[in-house]
Copies of this chain bind each other. A is one copy, B any other.
Amino acid sequence: MLDVAALAGVGVTTVSRVVNGKAGVSPETVERVRAAIERLDYRHNVHASILRRSDAKTATIGLVLEDVANPFMSALHRGVEDYARSRGVLVFAGSCDEDGRREQELVGALRARRVDGIILVPAAADHSYLLAEVRLGTAVVFVDRPARFLDADGVTSDNVGGARVAVEHLAAHGHQTIAHLGAALSIATAAERLRGFTDAHAALGLPVDPDVVRTGLATAEDAQEATTELVTGTSPPTAVFSAQNYFTIGAVKALRALGLHRSVAVVGFDDVVLADALEPAVTVVAQDPAGLGRTAAELLFRRLDGDVSPTRQVVLPVELLPRGSGEIRAPQSDGAGPRA
């Protein structure tokens, strides 16, 4: 910057003003400085800038996802990015693979880099470790799942409601034994969806058959295996509720492999690419992942803009998309043939 100042024949303050687009510099001077910057290939050093600046903003946020490559997560990522971009802010992204330790490592790396805020899809069981961070002024927003032991803004989908709707929809098509494919209950969304599943059964006066409720699944392969076991087992379900995008893929593949994709109904939580091109097309309860990301970013920047009101929890609605697989009727209970 000194070099630029020297070449332009001005003081460093003036160069600083030009670089930061501040008023109070004559157009001719601006031009001279610009030229000098160009000539010297000057790169503004944000680190020095941040160090000295009073507001100390890095124009950088961190995004901790379960996995940047999971389509749900990457759509959420894009929602965050678009809003951040509109504010001139760059996004660090990282995956923690449902590992609380990895989450803390990532947050540590982000905090050392003095990000202005952090948006996270939490994996840890306890977020009180973020308390000091929040006190120091870092904005923190939780998305997809709530914070635990920490008072922070959050955005989630209506998991309970979505699962209820899925079960109600299947019940309305005559199903009484509905399998549940879910993740580990330590994951809040998995627990909530199971709750919606159970609540809906209770409200409908249907018993939940514990034999067809699977939790602790992690991959599409897990779900495929579980589905195969369930439908070839002793009390085969007539419908499957898959509580996550990967599980829907696994369930569909299992049923196809067994030739049961036209007789066993499926409703998935979360939309999946090509779900509407399958035979039958897959009925899903669709979330709005980009909306989750955008909303989380909005909450974050509101805090960065100085909002100190009490934390809030936003719940985004989900939408049932009937496409075929969820409208397969249960076989008549009197033993008559399948499909209405």
Contact = CB atoms under 8 A, between A and B. Distances in A.
A108 to B, nearest CB: 9
Given A81-B95, A272-B273, A47 B51 contact: yes
Contact of A91 (B60, B94, B275, B290): B94
**A-B pairs, 5 with minimum CB distance:** A69-B78, A74-B74, A47-B47, A274-B274, A93-B93
A46 B112 contact: yes
22 contacts: A41-B132, A45-B114, A46-B113, A47-B113, A51-B51, A60-B92, A69-B71, A69-B75, A69-B290, A70-B74, A74-B74, A81-B95, A85-B94, A90-B110, A90-B113, A93-B93, A249-B273, A249-B274, A252-B274, A252-B277, A273-B274, A277-B278
A132 B95 CA distance: 32
A156 to B, nearest CB: 20
Contact of A90 (B45, B75, B94): B94
B51 A45 contact: yes
A95 B290 CA distance: 14
Contacts of A172: none
A78 B67 contact: yes
A90 B279 CA distance: 42
Interface in A136-191: 136
Contacts of A249: 273-274, 277
Interface string A241-280: 0000000010011001000000000000000111111110
A43 interface: yes
A47 B50 contact: yes
Interface residues of A, number: 50
Interface of A: 41, 43-48, 50-51, 58, 60, 67-71, 74-75, 77-78, 81, 85, 88, 90-95, 109-114, 132, 136, 249, 252-253, 256, 272-279, 290
B114 A47 contact: yes
Contacts of A109: 88, 90
A68 B60 contact: no
Given A70-B74, A77-B93, 9 more contacts: A43-B136, A45-B112, A74-B74, A81-B95, A91-B93, A91-B94, A249-B273, A272-B273, A273-B273
A75 B70 CA distance: 8
A68 B81 contact: yes
Contacts of A114: 43, 45-47
